[in-house]
Amino acid sequence: MPYSQDQLSAYRAVIIITLLLSIYGSLHYAHHAYGTDTPFTASYVLLSIYWIVIYIWQIAFTIASFIPNETRLTMVCELGWHFPIFNILHYIWAESFTNQYFILAELFLILNFFNLLGMYFTHKTYALGPVTNWFLIHVPLVALPLNWVIYGIMWNGAVMCHVEEKLWARILANIFIWDFLLIGAIFLFLFRDWASGLSISYLMLALGFRQLATKIFALQWIFAFVISGVLFCASVFVLVIDGFNPSQPENEPLLEDQGV
């Protein structure tokens, strides 16, 4: 057993406390939501559903960490403190954004981006096996949070720069929105990560609905729906081709003690 029982108990306690902190931060933001419309503002309802799914899945992960399974518990400990750090940084972002400290909020989003990116590439969670561990670890701890943080950087940045009614800002937004298609394509075709592809597709759908309700005669919602549709189809294609088995590039190790 590559971890001590004390280490595992401490980790369980920390993830419970930080997860509750993250949930509190989200609820506090939801109650005092800052409502400025920007070219990257998405549907409040659809984003709320996204976060409800994340939290239900993360609670399932937390419960699973109490179930005796040597391989899974080894992986949980190998992941280190990325998940608790994500929860703490998300809470600080929510409090900063709610109190309209947008520059500070942007900083914590960027820090969380590198935190999650580190977990993605250091531990190669996109290639975890078996599939039950991929669903319990990669999807709720990495794929869904990482892609929200990428979206959040764009959204928070737009709010921070006060781009609500600036024509030049909307033109730039019409260009930068295509970054989501590029990012989704990288996840899909380099890492075969259809969970990330579907999550970005959903976020673009949420963005499209809000932009349609805000400005009917605009390009942003059209681009958002196009990106959502393309990524959805590409994600389904990768899922059909690869099945539910995570793709592990040749000679690319997973978590140290996974034994693959």
| Mean pLDDT score, 70-95 | 86
Q: Which two tokens stand for residue 162?
A: 């006060």
Per-residue model confidence (pLDDT) at position 236:
96
Integer Cα distance of 64 and 81 in angstroms? 17
Q: What is the pLDDT of residues 214-227, one digit of tens each?
A: 888 889 999 999 99
Q: How far apart are CA 193 and CA 133, in angstroms?
A: 14
> Is 73 a residue whose pLDDT tops 90?
no
The encoded tokens of residue 25 equal 């931060």
Q: Could you tell me how far CA 45 lies from the centroid of its own chain?
A: 17
Query: pTM for the complete prediction?
Result: 0.90
- Residue 143 CA, distance from chain mean position: 5
* 230, 181 contact by CB (below 8 A): yes
Residue 97 pLDDT class (50, 70, 90 cuts):
very high
Peptide bond into 2 cis (omega under 30): no
